[in-house]
């Protein structure tokens, strides 16, 4: 089988497993679950390719396995980043969907303003970060949790390595 078809097949398997799991029950920590699904499928496929060589769905050699793994990793990470944007609907997406759902009648400006009244994208993201254990909330505000501190350190060092200015 060609490397491209094999790579697409491994990624499609992970995507279908993800869709099936989300149909059954939405995981509490969706990003961690996505990472587990996509990299679990990849590791499973690599193991099958190693222990059951010569099948139509396995890698024919190490280079093909490496190519599939690189493709899968890139697609999985891109999908997970895109999914995080869809996980909590952005104001633009909310408006777009409302106008699309209204059909030919459209929406009035008042209706659209009402959709976003009281909705704060910052609050939604902060709630998600609390839920993921990145920050904690106390009486004075938000504080970095150990997990958030680790990520902040990695990202700050990465920005410094790239020569970017400090900050967001």
Question: Which mean pLDDT values do the consecutive 10-residue runs of the chain (168 residues) have?
Answer: 89 95 88 93 93 86 93 94 72 80 85 75 78 86 90 86 78
My answer on whether 54 and 12 are in the same domain is yes
Same domain, 109 and 58: no
- 147 occurs within a structural domain: yes
pLDDT score, position 87: 64
Contact 136, 130 (CB under 8 A): yes
Locate the DSSP E strands across the chain: 135-138, 141-144
Whether residues 11 and 63 share a domain: the answer is yes
Instruction: Say if residue 113 is in the same domain as residue 72.
Output: no
Instruction: Report if residue 40 sits inside a domain.
Output: yes
What integer pLDDT is reported at residue 15 of this predicted model? 95
> Could you tell me if 76 and 40 lie in one domain?
yes
- Same structural domain for residues 49 and 83? yes
For residues 30 and 18, membership in a common domain is answered with yes
The answer to whether residue 43 is domain-embedded is yes
Residue where a domain terminates, one of 87, 105, 139: 87
Is 51 a member of any domain? yes
Q: Is residue 23 in some structural domain?
A: yes
Total number of domains constituting the chain:
3
Pair (114, 128) in one structural domain: no
The answer to whether residue 166 is domain-embedded is: no
Domain assignment of residue 167, yes or no:
no
Q: Is residue 168 part of a domain?
A: no
Say what the pLDDT of residue 85 is.
Answer: 67
Q: What is the DSSP string of 106-151?
A: ---HHHHHHHHTT--HHHHHHHHHHHTTSEEEETTEEEE-HHHHHH
Domain that holds residue 40: 3-87
């Amino acid at each position: 089988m060609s490397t491209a078809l094999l790579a697409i097949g491994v990624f499609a398997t992970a995507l279908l497993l993800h869709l099936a799991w989300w149909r059954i029950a939405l995981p509490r920590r969706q990003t961690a679950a996505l990472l587990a699904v996509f990299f679990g499928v990849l590791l499973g496929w690599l193991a099958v390719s190693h222990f059951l060589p010569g099948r139509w769905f396995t890698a024919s050699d190490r280079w093909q396995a490496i190519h599939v793994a690189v493709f899968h990793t890139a697609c999985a990470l891109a999908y997970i980043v895109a999914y995080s944007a869809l996980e909590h609907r952005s104001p633009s997406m909310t408006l777009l969907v409302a106008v699309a759902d209204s059909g030919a009648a459209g929406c009035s400006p008042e209706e659209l303003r009402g959709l976003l009244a009281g909705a704060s994208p910052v609050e939604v993201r902060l709630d998600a970060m609390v839920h993921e254990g990145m920050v904690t909330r106390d009486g004075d505000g938000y504080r970095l949790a150990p997990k958030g501190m680790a990520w902040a350190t990695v990202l700050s060092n990465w920005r410094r390595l790239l020569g970017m200015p400090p900050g967001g």
